Homo-oligomer: A and B are copies of this chain.
Amino acid sequence: MPATSHLTLGAIVFPGMDQIDFTGPFEVLSRLPDSTFHVLWKRREPVRDINGLILTPDLAFHEAPPLDVLIVPGGHGQEAFMEDEEMLAFIRQRAAQASCVFSVCTGALLCGAAGLLRGVRATTHWTAFHLLEYFGAIPEDARVVIDGKIVSAAGVTAGLDGALRVAARLRGDDVARQIQLAIQYAPEPPFHSGSPQTAPLSVLASVKAATHQITEARLATARRIAQKLRISVA
């Protein structure tokens, strides 16, 4: 049932993140009627995304009000915070109060490391999909997965689709439709290369090669975290 009171949303930004994991959801959810959207980081200091875009938080973690919606983006930089207690504690605390936790891309791994995905159906970027089970999640290969209060979107641009689902849940389908029309979201990708199932094999091989190192690093981290969380992976 759509909420009727004022909504407070907050998205975490961090160094090395993938900016559109955040700016996609911001585009949709900052348009919700009767809502406030905060951009959050440990300190009130700008960070750079993996491709150099400067992102500036409005509030430091310790200044953030209680959140109805917590948005956790991903990107290669997520790897550096998988065992960062300040990051994980913030996610854990805010998630406990929130009515919706929305991860985008490998933001799901951060939520997993914070212990939020145990027994929860979830998705993430296709290169990290096999890692979900290390956090006790039930991997579901979909663009957007909703399980209770945990909403997860697949890689990067899936945050737009996920955000429209979150908008609908918070304020009803018609508000989500109005936002979709305002941002003219009637996508027409010029190629059919947006998923590993549809991309040409040579393209898939290139992207796998380019992400091999980060994928290996993420696996090693996921194994350590699984041990800490006492999750056994077959």
Contact = CB atoms under 8 A, between A and B. Distances in A.
Contact of A183 (B27, B157, B176): B157
Interface stretch (A80-88, A186-194, A215-223): A186-194
Interface string A201-229: 01110110011000000000000000000
B207 A193 contact: no
Tell me which of A144, A164, A173, A193 has the highest count of chain B C-beta atoms within 10 A of its own C-beta: A193
A51 interface: yes
Contacts of A189: 160-161, 164, 180, 185-187
A177 interface: yes
A115 to B, nearest CB: 25
Interface residues of A, number: 65
Contacts of A39: 53-54
A155 interface: yes
B190 A165 contact: yes
Contacts of A139: none
A157 B187 contact: yes
B174 A157 contact: no
A8 interface: no
Tell me which of A55, A105, A188 has the highest count of chain B C-beta atoms within 10 A of its own C-beta: A188
B164 A180 contact: no
Closest 3 CB pairs of A and B: A155-B184, A186-B194, A177-B193
Given A144-B188, A157-B183, 16 more contacts: A18-B183, A26-B51, A54-B58, A126-B184, A155-B184, A156-B184, A157-B184, A158-B184, A177-B200, A177-B203, A180-B193, A181-B204, A181-B207, A182-B210, A186-B189, A186-B194
28 contacts: A18-B27, A20-B23, A30-B51, A30-B52, A31-B51, A52-B58, A144-B188, A144-B190, A154-B184, A155-B182, A156-B183, A156-B185, A157-B183, A157-B187, A161-B187, A165-B190, A174-B203, A174-B206, A176-B193, A178-B206, A180-B189, A180-B191, A181-B203, A182-B211, A183-B194, A184-B194, A186-B194, A186-B198
Interface of A: 18-20, 23-24, 26-27, 30-31, 37, 39, 46, 51-56, 58, 105, 125-126, 143-144, 154-158, 160-161, 164-165, 168, 173-174, 176-178, 180-191, 193-196, 198-200, 202-204, 206-207, 210-211
